[in-house]
């Protein structure tokens, strides 16, 4: 794929990020987006364009650097979200980089010096008041990717996690595969390591959807003990712009069939009642968007 088209895609990514900032108030680079930010974007993309991309695709093509150009239908989808008819229209209509004047290099150097000075000043100020947060798994002692977590205030307001810091006195940390934890942010520390405990039921569902068993009755009994009788279970279908509601029996039946209908689950949210799964939202991870 020519370098020219890769550059066009980089410009499209910036146009998509600007549109997401306008519509969703996500004022961060793609690399700093959390799981909740990605989910909000996928839902908004689906609402605007009647189609979406998978979380895996987002990590591959937007959150990380990739020299492989996506499929044309996905390029058309993102171009439509950015306000253009399709990918060809974006290439033709979107303004290219403005040609630099002969003063450009000097202005760039001067601007860089000013920006660096401001950045150092801000960093020094933040270093004394807000520690860098890191996260580890309580059992494996391995680092936990902050992008897989969500951060809210004690009253439920979404908090921004940027460059390892959160501007708040306390934060509620949660994740699809980790238990919720309230953390007080101590201002006199440079680094604060937060230990997170895995959500065993979420991991169990993930494992069941990716493994084969011959003891279906045992697996069914384990699921019955883990899921509340009145549970409501939502399966998201991004490719169909919809969501399906299942009760406990329907979910267990599909998950324990000899030919598993619910393979490769990605848990999005779990709510508990009486120590059992009371609300569950998930999607199935496919490779269709690669």
Q: What is the pLDDT of residue 289?
A: 42
* Structural domain ending residue among the three candidates 141, 170, 196: 196
Question: Do 168 and 225 reside in the same domain of the chain?
Answer: no
Q: What is the pLDDT of residue 114?
A: 55
CA atoms within 13 A on the CB side of 87: 16
CA atoms within 13 A on the CB side of 183: 28
Question: Do 14 and 81 reside in the same domain of the chain?
Answer: yes
Question: Do 61 and 83 reside in the same domain of the chain?
Answer: yes
Residue 120, in any domain of the structure: no
Question: Do 11 and 55 reside in the same domain of the chain?
Answer: yes
- DSSP letters spanning 225-242: HHEEEEEEEEEEEGGGTE
Residue 121, in any domain of the structure: no
Strand 242-246 to 227-237 pairing: antiparallel
Q: Hey, what are 202's tokens?
A: 């979420």
Q: What is the pLDDT of residue 164?
A: 82
Residue 125, in any domain of the structure: no
Residue 276, in any domain of the structure: yes
Task: Name the packing angle between helices 35-49 and 72-81 (round to 10°).
Answer: 90
Q: What is the pLDDT of residue 100?
A: 38
Q: What share of residues in the chain are helix, strand, coil (percent, to 5)?
A: 45, 25, 30
Sheet with strand 265-273: strands edge to edge: 242-246, 227-237, 276-284, 265-273
Q: Which structural domain range is residue 178 located in? A: 132-196
Give the CA dihedral 135, 140, 141, 147, nearest 10 degrees: -20
Q: How many domains does the chain have?
A: 3
Residues, the chain: 290
Strand partners, 174: 150
Per-position pLDDT tens, the chain of length 290? 467 888 889 999 999 999 998 888 888 899 889 888 898 899 889 888 988 888 888 988 898 887 788 888 899 999 999 999 889 889 888 655 433 334 444 444 555 555 555 555 554 444 446 788 899 999 988 999 888 899 998 777 888 888 788 888 889 999 889 999 998 887 667 788 899 999 999 999 999 988 888 888 999 999 999 999 999 999 998 777 789 999 999 999 999 887 767 888 999 899 999 999 999 999 988 654 44
Q: What is the pTM of this model?
A: 0.53
* Structural domain ending residue among the three candidates 67, 93, 119: 93
Q: What is the pLDDT of residue 96?
A: 54
Q: What is the pLDDT of residue 18?
A: 92
Contacts of 246 (CB under 8 A, 6+ apart): 232, 233, 234, 235, 254
* Structural domain ending residue among the three candidates 196, 231, 252: 196
């Amino acid at each position: 794929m020519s370098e020219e088209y890769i550059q066009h895609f980089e410009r499209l990514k910036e146009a998509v990020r600007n549109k997401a900032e306008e519509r969703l108030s996500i004022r961060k680079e793609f690399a700093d987006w959390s799981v909740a930010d990605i989910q909000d974007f996928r839902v908004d993309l689906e609402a605007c364009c009647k189609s979406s991309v998978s979380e895996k695709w987002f990590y591959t093509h937007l959150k990380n650097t990739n020299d492989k150009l996506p499929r044309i239908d996905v390029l058309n989808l993102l171009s439509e979200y950015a306000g253009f008819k399709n990918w060809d229209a974006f290439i033709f209509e979107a303004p290219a980089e403005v040609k630099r004047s002969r003063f450009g290099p000097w202005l760039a150097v001067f601007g860089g010096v000013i920006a660096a000075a401001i950045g150092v000043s801000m960093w020094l100020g933040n270093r004394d008041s807000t520690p860098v947060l890191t996260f580890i798994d309580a059992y494996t002692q391995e680092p936990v990717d902050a992008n897989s977590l969500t951060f809210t205030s004690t009253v439920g307001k979404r908090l921004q996690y940027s460059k390892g810091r959160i501007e708040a006195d306390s934060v509620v940390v949660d994740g699809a595969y980790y238990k919720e934890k309230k953390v007080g942010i101590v201002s006199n520390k440079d680094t604060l390591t937060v230990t997170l405990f895995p959500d065993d039921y979420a991991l169990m569902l993930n494992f069941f959807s990716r493994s084969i068993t011959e003891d279906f009755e045992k697996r069914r009994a384990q699921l019955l003990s883990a899921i509340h009788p009145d549970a409501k279970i939502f399966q998201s279908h991004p490719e169909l712009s919809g969501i399906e509601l299942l009760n406990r029996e329907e979910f267990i039946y599909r998950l324990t069939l000899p030919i598993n209908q619910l393979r490769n689950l990605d848990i999005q949210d779990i709510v508990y009642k009486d120590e059992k799964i009371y609300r569950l939202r998930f999607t199935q991870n496919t490779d269709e968007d690669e």
